[in-house]
Amino acid sequence: MILRAGENLILERSGESGMTERFRCRIADLKENQILIDYPIDERTGKTALLLNDTLFMANYIAENHVFHFRVQFVRRVPGRIPMMLLRYDGEESLEQVQRRNYVRVDANLDIAVHPADERFSPFVTLTTDISGGGVLVNLPDNVSLPPETPVVIWLCIHLSTGTYHYLSLNGKIVRVFADKFTHKNKASIAFKLENESARQPIIRFCFDKQLASRRRILQWEMDHRRR
């Protein structure tokens, strides 16, 4: 089973203005072709969403480092000690994987501190150029030389679309160092070496949020040009 109780869902629909609305919720229970969720939160306002019966959404779900999407329909509110909402969908065979690679890489300029694991170099602070669940690409200062296989410890702050911050300390190793063909500055590719998958989840969520934001910008650009 791909869907699991306790995991997050992101529901999307086109609003009256043509902009995509996003609502974050948690799966409370699963039944045949039905999903019980807690009350969704509008990511733009931070308030509980008011949904009309039979409203259709595209649901996005992360499982085992893959992103899936599928169509759901809001059926009704479910009263109880903990109020919930009932969604209908076409079963797990309707889940479609968004990307084929294990980890999606997105462009991102994040502050990052790189420390040696064995005192081979002095710590330095720089910016990332892209990131994925498997690793990160960083700009190297001019006075820093890092041979491949060098073990490192990195400190990274991830800001999610929900407004929450995750301060991560991750082990890694240098995969390769190369000169950027446009800037001629050196960059280093760092692979994460994690003891468990929990540390990877905020990074995957960050990449997922960046993907959705990019997709919304493209859709908005297409809609603006159709009106001309």
> Which pLDDT tens digit goes with each residue over 141-191?
988 888 888 999 999 999 887 778 889 999 999 998 988 877 888 999 999
In a domain, 225, yes or no: no
pLDDT-based confidence at residue 135 (cuts at 50, 70, 90): very high
CATH number at residue 110: 2.40.10.220
In a domain, 185, yes or no: yes
CA distance linking residue 66 with residue 91, whole number of Å? 18
Q: Any long-range contacts for 49-54 (C-beta under 8 Å, 24+ apart)?
A: 49/23, 51/85
CA distance linking residue 225 with residue 142, whole number of Å? 44
pLDDT-based confidence at residue 216 (cuts at 50, 70, 90): low
CATH number at residue 78: 2.30.110.10
- When the pLDDT of each residue in the chain is averaged and rounded to a whole number, the result is 83
Distance, CA of 213 to chain centre = 10
In a domain, 141, yes or no: yes
Non-local CB neighbours of 86 within 8 Å, separated by 6+ positions: 34, 35, 36, 74, 75, 76, 77, 78
Query: How many C-beta atoms surround the C-beta of residue 13 within 10 A?
Result: 15
Q: Which domain holds residue 82?
A: 8-98
Q: Apex CA 162: angle with CA 156 and CA 163, to 5°?
A: 60
Asked if residue 111 and residue 21 are part of one domain, the reply reads: no
Asked if residue 93 and residue 45 are part of one domain, the reply reads: yes
C-alpha count within 13 angstroms, C-beta hemisphere, residue 84 = 14
Asked if residue 59 and residue 133 are part of one domain, the reply reads: no
In a domain, 147, yes or no: yes
In a domain, 148, yes or no: yes
- Residue 224 clears pLDDT 80, i.e. is over it: no
Q: Which amino acid is at 199?
A: A
Asked if residue 151 and residue 111 are part of one domain, the reply reads: yes
Asked if residue 82 and residue 41 are part of one domain, the reply reads: yes
Asked if residue 160 and residue 79 are part of one domain, the reply reads: no
pLDDT at 100: 43
Q: Please count the structural domains in the chain.
A: 2
Asked if residue 110 and residue 73 are part of one domain, the reply reads: no
Report the pLDDT averaged over residues 31-58. Answer: 87
In a domain, 89, yes or no: yes
Q: Which two tokens stand for residue 18?
A: 């043509």
> Given 98, 118, 143, which residue is the final one in a domain?
98
Asked if residue 121 and residue 59 are part of one domain, the reply reads: no
H-run or E-run covering 137: strand 135-139
In a domain, 2, yes or no: no
Report the pLDDT averaged over residues 17-25. Answer: 77
